[in-house]
Structure formats: C-alpha cells, structure tokens
Structure 1
Amino acid sequence: MREKTMHGICFHHIDEDLGSEYDVAPTDLERFVRAVVDGGAVFLKPSTLAESFADPRIRLAEDAVCLIFDDGYRSTLEFAAPLMAKLGVVFGLAPATALLLDDQRPLAAPEGSRGFLSVDDLKLWTAVGGEILGHSHSHVALSALATSTVEHELDTELAIYAEHGLPAPELFVYPFGAHDERVRRAVAARYRGAFAGDCGSVAGPDHRFDLHRVTFRQKLLPGLLRLDWASLDLHTHE
C-alpha cells in the first residue's frame, strides 16, 4: 500500500496584479482549493497535524494538504478567509509578529511591501476558524543568529500572542526554511513540529521539526491544479 503523505503548501500574497512569481491570483487560489476538495484529498488542520505527533491514534488521511499563508499579508484575510467559509476547510497563517504591530512594522517590513495584518485582523482570522503558526518575531533566517537571539525571537512572538489573547501556535514555520540543530532544539522546546523549506522531509514523528513545505511559485500552478505532488519536489528555501 502506498505510504500516506502530508503536503505542506505555502502561499504568500494574494493579488490579481502578479507583482512577483510568489504571488497567486485569487481565482487561481480558489481553483487549487477546489481541486483538492474535488480530487478527494483532505485539507489538514495544523492543530490536527500537531496532535498527531503526540497521539499515534490520530491517523492522517492519504495525501492530506496543510495549507499555510506566510508572513501575514492582509490579502490572506480578504481572500483566503472567505474560501474557508465557502468550502468548509481550515488554513494556517504564519505571520511574523513584528509585522502585526504598528510601531514595529516599519522596521520589519521590506521596502515596497504590501499591506500586512494587524493584531485585530489576526483575531478576525481565528474567529472564522483560521489557525496560527509561529514564524518568528522579525522574520529573519534563524540559523544565522546566535542561540540566545533565536530564543528571544521565539519567546517574543509567543509573548505577543499571549498579551493580545491570541492562541499560542503549536507548529512553527522556519523563515526562509533556514534551520540547524540549534534552531530545531529551540523550536522543539516551544512547538510540537515545524515546517522547513522545499528540502524538508515528509510528515512523521521522526521528521516533525523538518516537515516538507512547498513554496508556491507561478510555474508550479499547473502541477498544483493537477495535484501532481511529484512535480513539486523542489530544492530551494523561501
């Protein structure tokens, strides 16, 4: 029997004006979500994936898809949240917490970037059933930082969620897919699992802090719409 596999698929900004190869048009995002639903695959809640690491009785569906929106763009709330309600699925959102805060966003946001969610926006996301994943505070490559700074990044984001009454994330998404043994150890002390980049492993207890995550690019759209997972086996981090 074919081994069951979890596919972590990551999107960023959603916009009809494709200013980057990483942007996805709202219509194409809905086409992919419908392809998953109509094709018999299952959208996996991040919280269910996290629970499966602690409870072997939780069985993941074959070709389960964990859909994640990175960084915290406002377009996620505008376009992805209605899709959850329309199709009865749950997505994850992995914002960098500095981008949620008015006084810190100018320091953390890249020049010329699109609008980001606020804390109140993130509360709306959770109110409609969306889930939160960790993604660091400042959106930096954690493997390039001293261990104490990595721990500060992780503790700061968790403190911000607690301060604003938001649920503590159970899973983490490494910014740019960058991690090493020190980073994995720090993340493991705070989370149940973590998504790496396109070189990550398939889901499972032995790989829970190196989960495979495919970052959307325009060139991947045909394969996604066909649910051709083999065509998404890339080897770069985003």
Structure 2
Amino acid sequence: MHLGSDLRVVADVTSGNSSSEFGWVVIFLLRAEHEYDSKQGRVFFSLTICIPKSAIQRKGLEFAPPSRIKVSNAILDMYARCGSVDDARAVFDRMASRTNISWTSMVAAYAQNGHPSLALEISREMDQVGMSKNAITFITILSACNHGGLLEEGIRFLAGMRRDHGVLPRNAHYSCVIDLLGKAGRLEEAESMIAGLVERPDAGLWRSLLGSCRIHGDEVRAGRAGEELKKLEPSDAAPYVVKKLFRLET
C-alpha cells in the first residue's frame, strides 16, 4: 500500500467500515517499524492514533510481541492515550528490552491518567537500572508532579536535570514548577524563577503567574504579569479580565 491507500484505510476504520480494524493497526505499526526513520514512517505512527479505542483495547496485547520494541512502544502509547493504564503496564512488563521511549511512555501513561506517584516510581526505576533521561522524559516527570501537586518533588527534579543528568531545562520544564509554585501561593518565587530564565519567558509562563495571582489576591504582581503578557500577546484578554475582576472587588 501507499500513503494514499493507508489514509483511506484509516478513514474506513474510524468510521467503523472495516471488519478487521486492529489488523490494520498492526500493518501500520509493522510498516512504521521498518520505515520509522523516514517521513512516511512517522506519518504511519501518527495515523495509528486515529484508530478507535475499542480496537486497541480488544486486541492490543496480542500484537505487542516482547521482542518488537518499536511496535510495543507504539501500542503502549496508544493504551495510555485510551486511559488503559493497566494494559499499558502489561505491555511494558512484557517487553524483552526497553528503550528510553518505553520508560518515558510509561511515565506519561501514569502522569496523564491520574497516577503521579506511580509515574515517579517509574522514574526511580529508570535510575535504578541506569536508563538515561532526556528532555522529554523530564517533561513527563514534571507534568506528573504538576498534576499531583507535588511541589517539592518538582523542584528537586528540576534542580537535578542539569546537575545529575546533563539536561538543560527549557521553558517547558520551568513552566511545570512555576505553575506548582503559583498554586501553592509562592508567587514571589514563581516570579523570580521567570525573571531568571535563560530563555525569553513565553506567554504561557506569564499567563500561569497571572492566574495564580488572581487566585491568591496579589493585585500588584498580577499587574506586572499582565503587562508582560500584553507585550507578548497584545490580543490576549486575560490581563484586562483579571484587572477588572480586582477592581470589582475593591
């Protein structure tokens, strides 16, 4: 098959017209395994995201052979996207060997489905077996901390990125901790962290701080955050809305 016919197959599967929908998932995954380094191979992996949850849950474990790492990684990821964390873990546990992608996907599976403590447990297991962590791994770990309100753990992981793993934190990593600091009402620390960034702070960071200032009633700091946000995104209404809300309360 070529990409055009593959797209038609996905259309049939997602509309329920295919009698062997998961068979096509396997075809995509197997082709992607052989062509993963090509642009077309990456497209095949993306197409599998469109396959219905029912097809994945019904047949996924049967098509995750322990020795086929890329196929297992993809099925693990699909289970995670469906919220089937136990099935994702079953695929993970069956793998004959695991790559950074396998471990990171399992962290993400727990983080995205309301199990931050289990996500951090997987992170600790990575350290125990000597598996390296990259920038994407730390995004998933810090997201787990953010979802779980685990502020001190988030600060610890952020601090250890460069020191222990040689990974340079970027805005996306800081964003998780800044959000945690804001939720905890530690607004001065959040603002100081933004001010000290090597990269130029993006609108999302200022928007997060602005929201936290609103929640905790810090009008002065909200004004500063709002001004910075307006510089980056003049059309964003959030600074004006927050300013008006503060005025209504006085």
Q: TM-score, normalised by structure 2?
A: 0.25
More strand by share: 1
Q: TM-score, normalised by structure 1?
A: 0.26
Larger radius of gyration: 2
More helix by share: 2
Q: Bigger relative contact order, structure 1 or 2, given CA contacts below 8 A and separation 6+?
A: 1
